[in-house]
Structure 1
C-alpha cells in the first residue's frame, strides 16, 4: 500500500515539474515574440502601371499586422486589411500584395501599419510612377545561331530548334509569331518567364526552323 502512495507522490511531483518547465518555455517564446520589431520593412511596385489601372504593390512588414494604410502627400488615405490583401509569410515577416489605383503619373505614399488599436508611422514610403500609355513595341530581335552578315551563308540558319531573343518593355505580357497563312504560336510572360534587364524584358524563345525560307511576323 505504501509503495503505491509513494509512486503516486512521485508522479505528481514529476507532473508539477513538467508544468513549471512548460510554463517557462511559454514565457520564453512570448518574450521572444514581443521582441520582434513591429513595422514596415520595404515597399515596391511590380512592373509599371498605366494611368487608370491598378498598380500591384508588395509591402513587407514585421509580424502579422491587422491593416496597412497608405497616405499620399494630399493626406488622402486608402486602407487595406487582411481580407483585401494577399499575404505570404516570410520568416518573422509577412509580404502583403495589394492593388492600388494609379490615378496620377507619380504619387508618393507614407505607409502606416496597425498592429493593435493605433497605426504606426513606419517611416517607409512608396513611390508609384504610372505611364500614360503602355510600351507594347518590340525593341529588338536576334537569333544567336544565325550566321552573321558578310559570310557566304549570310542570314541563314540550320533547320532545327534555335533560341530567338526578343527584347521588350516590362509592359508586354505575351509574344506571338504569325506565319503567312495566319497560324500563330503564342508565348506568355507566365509560360516562358522572361528575364529582366534594366527596364526591359528579355524573352528567350525556342523556335523550330524548318527547311526552306520562313516568313514570320512578330507581335505583342
Structure 2
C-alpha cells in the first residue's frame, strides 16, 4: 500500500490543534463574530473548502434544543464559546440528545460559576490530554496501516492496493464504531442518574 496515504494522514493530524482558552476573546461576541471566530480557528478541520464550521442556524438550533443558554443582549460570552466548542467536537458522532445529556450537568453547575471549577477549567483540563492522545493515535494508525498492508497478498496487482486501502479504512472504522458504542453506554448511564454532579447550591462537606 502506498505510504503517501499515511504521510498525508499524519500531515493532516499534525496540523490539528484545539482552540485554547487564551485564544477566545475576553469580551462577549455577537453572532457574526462567533461564526467568524470559529471559521478562522477551526479551518483545519474542514473537509472541503466551502464547508461551514458553525452557522447562525446551527447555533440557534442548539439554543432551541437546550444545548446552549440564550445569549445575553444578543452577545455570547466565553462560557457560550466553550460550550459551542464542545458541541462542535461532539456533533460529528453523537446525537443532539446525547450531547444534551453530556453537557447539561456542566451547563447547570459551571456556566455561571464564580469561583473554584468553571467551564474554562474543565475545558483546559480535558484538552490537556490532547498531546498524549495524539501520540497514541498516530502509533495506532501506523500499526493498522502496517496490518492492512499485509492483507490480500494473493490479489491481482491492479486490485491489491484498492483492497488494502479498504482494509485500512475498515480497521479505522471498526475502532470508531467500538469507541462510539462505549461513549453511548456511558451517556446512557448518565441518563440513569450516575455519574452525576451535586446540585450547584449544595456545599461540599
* TM-score after normalising by structure 2: 0.18
Q: Which has the larger radius of gyration?
A: 1
**Greater relative CO, 1 or 2 (CA 8 Å, sep 6+):** 2
- Structure having the higher strand fraction is 1
- Structure having the higher helix fraction is 2
